[in-house]
Amino acid sequence: ILSKSNENSNITANNPEAINLSIAENTIKQYMLSKVFSEDVSNAHLRGVIHIHDLGYPRVYCSSHSLEYLKKYGLKLENSEIASLPAKRARTLTGHLNTFLASMQAYYAGALGIGFLNIFYAPYLVDMSYEEIKQEAQYLIFSLSQSAFSRGGQVLFIDANIHAGIPDYLKGIPAIGPKGEYTGKTYGEYEKETRTFARALMDVWREGDKDGHPFTFPKMDFHIDEHAFDQPEQFELLKYACQIASENGSPYFVFDHGDEAVLSQCCRLRQKINDRYMIEHPESLRFV
């Protein structure tokens, strides 16, 4: 109660919610070791022979979610009677996303991944200037990075999956735009907006906060496939990501192979999507 737990570096203050979490987590750990796991496993954990990660969280670990679901159906949380229509503008979409992720964090012990972030935002950015698009990027990253009300006052543990261009498997997929309506175009027709938003997001990650501090979250998971090397526009974004990595270490690089669709979340977990229906209906992308 009087001193902050050092077990989780994402908890930076010993606020009342952090104290509640610490007490609850330790209580659950004791229950799990005495009632759930065998004596051999429990003793091995206590002796340090093995480590049972997130023992105090009786829930699944990481998950990936789709922005398309929010775009198509709006925001309706399980623990709230208030529902929102699909967003008409990028700024509103960011508000929906931030609220959704804050709610979902209660159900998972680890990270929340958002796939194809810059691609699925693209239909909302048509006819915007670069400065306007960068403002949306700033609002998105600052909103997610300052949502410090999760599990004991932690900042949301978010992985933002960014692409230098449109993967081949998404180019023919109908695009969902403002009001949850299909735009009549495919995502392959939003290459310009996709790359521009990626550049704007990367600019914000490079600049950091008002004091120049790098953003811990949301993490930038930068996807690389063969087109990042044979298409000049994508190669420029790849070089820029490498430059940012050399300056502040923000980008994580995810190597995609062939036509496999991969979502990344947490520090080391990649999920391959094999279900063609999920690719053709990206609002259904969700797994743990």
What is the reported pLDDT for 60? Answer: 84
Q: Which one, of 98, 96, 62, 94, lies nearest residue 197 by Cα? A: 94
Please state, in angstroms and rounded to a whole number, the distance separating the CA atoms of residues 47 and 240.
46
| Average confidence score pLDDT of the chain | 88
The arithmetic mean of pLDDT across residues 268-279, rounded, is 66
> Residue 246 — pLDDT band, cuts 50, 70, 90?
very high
What is the reported pLDDT for 7? Answer: 62
pLDDT at 162 over 90: yes
Tell which wins on pLDDT, 12 or 216. Answer: 216
CATH architecture, domain 63-284 = Alpha-Beta Barrel (3.20)
* Token pair for 13: 């203050």
Please state, in angstroms and rounded to a whole number, the distance separating the CA atoms of residues 130 and 26.
49
> Domain ranges in the chain?
11-58, 63-284
What is the reported pLDDT for 268? Answer: 58
Write the DSSP assignment of 148-171 as a string of letters: --BTTTBPP-EEEEEESS--GGGT
Summarised one tens digit per residue, pLDDT across range 132-155 is 999 999 999 999 998 766 666 677
pLDDT at 240 over 90: yes
> Residue 280 — pLDDT band, cuts 50, 70, 90?
confident
* Token pair for 159: 């992985």
Tell which wins on pLDDT, 15 or 112. Answer: 112
Query: What separation in angstroms does the CA of 245 have from each of 221, 238, 239?
Result: 11, 11, 10
Tell which wins on pLDDT, 11 or 54. Answer: 54
What is the reported pLDDT for 15? Answer: 74
Summarised one tens digit per residue, pLDDT across range 64-121 is 888 999 999 999 988 888 999 999 999 999 999 999 998 888 888 888 989 899 999 9
